[in-house]
Chains A and B, each alone.
Chain A
């Protein structure tokens, strides 16, 4: 395996020819050392390449085995109930069905799961058109230097720690929403816009919008890279037929980039589903179904952070296992989303290696 001929090698029948032909220069010891070095590199890199696979399988195995007592204790109620009650952790633990648990403990994750999906869907619905529109303008209209500057903006938005974005959401964006956007929205005569909101603006919509800001760089950068790969002749052909730029876009560019953009959007969805700290700060952290678009809610990931202290205080250790079950559910959801995205983007071109527009 280590002596594999290079990809596209023309001289593959005799890749070792130089060693036998030019026998003299390196001494036997040096030659053996060189060969050992090659085997070492080949072996070491093989080990490194296997690590991600084992990490993935290992995480699934750890979460499943740790969550097993909670799965047995919660049953299907985990997916149908929305009450998360750690129980009386000061009293002694009791044993039910072979599982040690605090008295009155009950773990239902339905509200967490719906909250996760709702906030991510809002993020995608808001973020996708903005990201794609921005990418189109960036590629088709803006001069190169300006486009590079905005590329830096995208990288910065992708790179700013989620804790900082969450703080911005709590300190600046949320209050702004509560003062300017929410009063306007509450006039819309639809059920989801009926309800009170707090002055910090924390809630479902704020969470979704902050998530949108976090997935925009991923989608925008991928779309930009894909649009740049559309050959100009095809666009020029469409324009020469008398189409407006808009019509040409839908006739030509949209068809070139469609699959890749959908893939990037699904990847962004995966990112939004797993986002933790920002949503923990902006969501209002209430384990309940969001009755309207302003109401406080939470997600699986945010609950896992906010319940850490409570879980450690549980002498029976069951809440730790219940959180492991949450993590398992989150992992499975994101795995499915990512595999779908991967199937969609398999044939789309691969962009830069940055997390922005990486296409993976």
Chain B
């Protein structure tokens, strides 16, 4: 117990008073709760992966990959090819729409009512349920234009569905290119399009690519809009844009699971495994794409400084990142 010069005894720190103990207990309970929450987030992921692998591997046959499905069994080759055909279509349509929209919002528009309306519309479109997209495609394209269940309505509907994601990531990626880089280009007398092509796009490429790959992952995983637009077919895609149904993996996973035939049920498990592997590959390739393009980008620094700046210069906590 120390005594100050004035002879006043300062209150001792009372570690064992009930209040202090209650605070410590509450703190411990809080972290325990957070830990439990994290376990509850990770558990379903592990459980889903484990379940998918276990169910599929039990009856796995390699010829699933190169035989087409029949009503009661067969393989998934038609669905695999169909999924990739649809993904290529979406990459072309949603890629050009989304990147175009992103470019417009960053490079060719001014802050104001038009920009706000267009940006809000894009973001709200991202929140529209996929089944609503699918049903509108069914009403307008499949029935309305008499295209029937086929590739073109499927690609159009899925593209509109994922365009907001591509547009958003393009917008963010372009916005992160430092103004100084553009001004440097302009100061050298470059045209705006030339600056865009040679300076801005190169720095923004990782972000744009990530958005595109995520869009592909979404389109590979959608079922509801495709049921209403693509139908399903046991044959390989015919190449016709309309009047020809297309098979795809998510339908096999969804619709075959409670078929009376055991071989059809096995196809559903196999399709689930293939889908999970496809999504995993896309997620990993998105990360890889970011790394590779950053390494070979002429201005490596361009896509990076934002991180530090956004966190604020004061905190200096690189440790959190």
Contact = CB atoms under 8 A, between A and B. Distances in A.
The answer to whether A and B interact is yes
A168 B48 contact: yes
A19 B131 CA distance: 51
B150 interface: no
Interface in A44-89: 44-53, 55-56, 58-59, 62-63, 66
Interface in B102-145: 103-105, 107-110, 117-118, 120-133, 135-136, 139-140, 143-144
Contacts of A19: 189
Given A41-B103, A56-B128, A164 B48 contact: yes
A162 interface: yes
A159 B283 contact: yes
Nearest to A1: B108
B45 A156 contact: yes
Interface string B274-300: 011001101100000000000000000
Given A159-B221, A231-B314, A133 B38 contact: yes
Given A51-B101, A133-B33, A152 B136 contact: no
A164 B276 contact: yes
A160 B276 contact: yes
Contact of A213 (B44, B55, B164): B44
* B interface: dominant SS: helix
B101 A48 contact: yes
B75 to A, nearest CB: 18
Given A45-B104, A48-B97, A7 B26 contact: no
A334 B129 CA distance: 8
B279 A156 contact: yes
A163 B272 contact: yes
Residue of B45, B129, B227, B319 contacting most chain A CB atoms (<10 Å) = B129
Nearest to A6: B182
A159 B182 CA distance: 35
A86 to B, nearest CB: 17
Interface string A144-156: 1000001011111
B100 A138 contact: no
B192 interface: yes
Contacts of B52: 164, 167-168
A91 interface: no
Nearest to A248: B27
Given A232-B315, A360-B127, A152 B120 contact: no
Given A8-B179, A51-B163, A63-B136, A160 B131 contact: no
A157 B44 contact: yes
A2 B186 CA distance: 15
A153 B36 CA distance: 16
A38 interface: yes
B220 interface: yes
Interface residues of A, number: 116
Interface stretch (A96-104, A178-186, A187-195, A266-274): A266-274
Interface in B152-198: 160, 163-165, 167-169, 172-173, 179, 182-183, 186-187, 189-194, 196
Nearest to A337: B127
Contacts of A165: 48
Contact of A308 (B42, B120, B227): B227
Interface in A22-52: 22, 34, 37-38, 41-42, 44-52
Nearest to B42: A153
Contacts of A133: 33-34, 36-38
B38 A353 contact: no
B192 A3 contact: yes
B223 interface: yes
Contacts of B172: 350, 352-353
A240 interface: no
Contacts of A267: 127
A37 B48 CA distance: 50
A274 B160 contact: no
B223 A277 contact: yes
Contacts of B228: 308
A163 B223 CA distance: 7
Contacts of A220: 41
A360 B164 contact: yes
B48 A245 contact: no
Contacts of B190: 18
Contacts of B27: 244-247
B191 A46 contact: no
A107 interface: no
B118 A273 contact: no
Interface of B: 23-24, 26-27, 30-31, 33-38, 40-42, 44-45, 47-49, 51-52, 55, 96-101, 103-105, 107-110, 117-118, 120-133, 135-136, 139-140, 143-144, 160, 163-165, 167-169, 172-173, 179, 182-183, 186-187, 189-194, 196, 207, 210-211, 214, 217-218, 220-224, 227-228, 250, 253-254, 257, 268-269, 272, 275-276, 279-280, 282-283, 310-312, 314-317, 319-321
30 contacts: A6-B186, A15-B186, A45-B101, A48-B99, A48-B101, A48-B103, A49-B122, A50-B118, A53-B122, A55-B160, A59-B133, A134-B38, A137-B34, A152-B283, A153-B41, A159-B282, A161-B222, A161-B276, A163-B221, A168-B47, A220-B41, A229-B311, A276-B224, A301-B129, A304-B131, A327-B131, A327-B136, A334-B127, A335-B127, A354-B165
Interface of A: 1-4, 6-11, 15, 18-19, 21-22, 34, 37-38, 41-42, 44-53, 55-56, 58-59, 62-63, 66, 129-134, 136-139, 141, 144, 150, 152-157, 159-168, 170-173, 213, 216, 220, 228-229, 231-233, 244-247, 249, 267, 270-271, 273-277, 281, 301, 304-305, 308, 320, 323-324, 327, 330-331, 334-335, 337-339, 341-342, 350, 352-355, 358, 360
